[in-house]
């Protein structure tokens, strides 16, 4: 899969999904869920979103930054 940034429509969909996750986590907390349960839900939901709607453009940028850092540390 070629690396490309998300389109504006994909960014909108991702933002809506993130807002939905935040709302669901807030509802869980309001209904008495523990902080650990809320945190576990939020992390799992964000991980699943990353699997389903990966921003490959950002992944490439992150990999380049990591390589640049590693190269400067080796010197």
Counts of helices then strands in the chain (DSSP H, E): 3, 0
Identify the residue with better confidence: 61 or 17.
17
- Structure tokens that stand for 40 in this block: 């576990």
Q: What average pLDDT does range 58-65 have in this prediction?
A: 87
Q: Indicate if the pLDDT at residue 73 is higher than 70.
A: yes
> Please, what sign has the CA dihedral across residues 37, 38, 39, 45?
positive
DSSP letter (8 states) at residue 33: -
User: In terms of C-beta density within 10 A (0-12 exposed, 13-18 middle, 19 or more buried), how is residue 6 classed?
Assistant: middle
Tell me: the pLDDT tens digits for 1-49? 456 778 889 889 999 999 999 999 999 999 999 999 999 999 999 999 9
- Residue 54's pLDDT is 82
């Amino acid at each position: 899969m070629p690396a490309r940034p998300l389109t504006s429509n994909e960014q909108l969909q991702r933002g809506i999904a993130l807002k939905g996750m935040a709302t669901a986590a807030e509802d869980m907390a309001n209904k008495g869920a523990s902080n650990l349960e809320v945190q576990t839900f939020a992390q799992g939901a964000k991980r699943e979103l990353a699997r389903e709607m990966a921003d490959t453009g950002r992944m490439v940028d992150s990999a380049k930054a990591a390589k640049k850092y590693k190269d400067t540390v080796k010197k």
